[in-house]
Structure 1
Amino acid sequence: MMCFTRGARIAIMTAVLPLAGCVSVLKSGPPDNLYRFGIVEDPAHEAPIIERDKKPVTLGRVRFAPEIDGDRILTAHGDTVLYIKDARWVAPAPDLFTQAVMRRFEQATSSVRLLPAAARGNGAPLLHLTIDRFEADYRGNAQKSDAPTIRVSGSATLVDSASLQPIASRRFTVDERASASSQSAITSAFDRAVSHYTLQILEWCEVVH
């Protein structure tokens, strides 16, 4: 049975690897289970050859809504949001998501080359990503023990770096059903959802840029 810690009441590619580690030296009891999501870098994968005819895009800061801008795993139960007890992401979710987006572009055969935020100022359009839903949604379940649906939702905006005017914008939503209401099943479903989401961003960038 899943356990949750209560949060504020609001309206609202690869395998997931559990990692053991202490969250705080002041915390008593066993450490939280740590998980990661996203496209894990393959050590055997050769560094891609930079093709000069690819259209460059610079990734801006990936922004998450306040309740998901951290390492806690959010769930939605009716009008109440709860965090999964004794489980966290191995790093803040925005950091893992940024890595997943970068690796999606690096490992794909694409007409677009995604540059890190540090490359800003080279004249390439800017890709701004905002994520407002990143949660395991139990709403609509007949029983509390039913597996949740993982929802990743947000918007992408391509901006001209000189004028800062939007070139194109689109909203994306991915729903991925977990196989069970357990930590491992839920985090695995987050991993699949992020994989589908980053693929949609890649395909959209190829069309609009």
Structure 2
Amino acid sequence: MRAPFIKVAVATAAVLMLTGCVNVLPKTKPVQLYRFGYDAEKIEKVTLAPAPANGVLVPVNLGGIDFPQESQGDRILTTEGNEVAYVGGSRWAAPVRQLFQDAVKEGFSRSATTVRLDPRGPSAAQYRLDLTVHRFESAYGRGRPTVSVALDARLTRLADRAVVGQRYVTADVAVRRSDMSLMAESYDEATSQVVAALIGFTQETVAANPVPDNKVQVPAR
């Protein structure tokens, strides 16, 4: 009759040992994840060209999006003067490059009226939009952060490889206080402003620099 008691006692001791091991393991605070994107409600109404009567939108290929090495990952970059640091305990839900690319695609899909981003690549497009991001950071001054986004946009007409337009686009959105949730909202607003400016730039440039009729490519179906 003692054998069952011994087995129970051994099992109980094993559980207590495991419990003790778990209790002495170092506890780590979970990392809080954030994201940003395109939100049409966070930008001023922009007057864009009306949609074409035939409903055909000019196809544009979204080319490269280059980010500085220090801000292209999933860490949230802050600067103050010449000092650079990352927000502790917080990260973006995906690499900044991916989130920003998704925001550009979402913006063109929802708000562009005369052009569209074609997912099939350069062979199906008439223009290519390339972006070089110079700043994507929370810049501190006197203890107050401002979300700062700045980039160069270049539009190339693929029929003759001519660069038909270039524009420097910036957005600076102040954050009410140094709070990561508020900062994420400001990234939303700054990104939305930049994407809206990119849409306006692309549509204006395409309208002013049409592809010659004899060089228009019919996108493959």
Matched-pair identity in %: 33
- Corresponding residue for residue 194 of structure 1: 191
Is residue 174 of structure 2 the alignment partner of residue 177 of structure 1? yes
Runs of 4+ in 1 over 2 A off after TM superposition: 160-165
Corresponding residue to 1:121 among 123, 130, 141: 123
Question: 1:61: how far off?
Answer: 2.3
Paired residues of 1:152 and 1:174 also in contact (CA < 8 A):
yes
What is the CA–CA distance in structure 2 between the aligned matches of 1:186 and 1:107, rounded to whole Å?
24
Structure 1 residues 72, 171: CA separation in 2 closer, same or farther (over 3 Å shift)?
Answer: same
Offset at residue 115 of structure 1 (A): 1.7
User: Is contact 1:57–1:113 with CA below 8 Å preserved after alignment?
Assistant: yes
Distance 1:28 1:125 in 2: 53
C-alpha separation in 1, matches of 2:178 and 2:161? 44
Contact kept? 1:72, 1:87, Cα under 8 Å: yes
Q: How many residues align?
A: 168
What's the offset of the Cα at 1:108?
A: 1.4
The 8 Å contact of residues 123 and 162 in structure 1, kept in 2 or not, is answered as: no
Residue 32 of structure 1 corresponds to 31
Q: What is the deviation of 1:179?
A: 1.6
Greater Rg by CA: 2
- Aligned to 1:86, which of 89, 95, 119? 89
Normalized per residue, which structure has more helix? 2
Q: 1:12 is matched with which residue?
A: none
Q: 1:208 to 1:183 in 2, by over 3 A?
A: same
Instruction: Indicate conservation of the 8 Å contact 2:74/2:91, yes or no.
Output: yes
Q: Deviations over 1:3-62 (max 9, x none)?
A: xxxxxxxxxxxxxxxxxxxxxxxx96122110010037xxxxxxxxxx752111110121
RMSD (CA atoms): 2.0
What is the aligned partner in structure 1 of residue 49 from structure 2?
none
Name the CA distance, whole Å, in 2 between partners of 1:131 and 1:67: 12
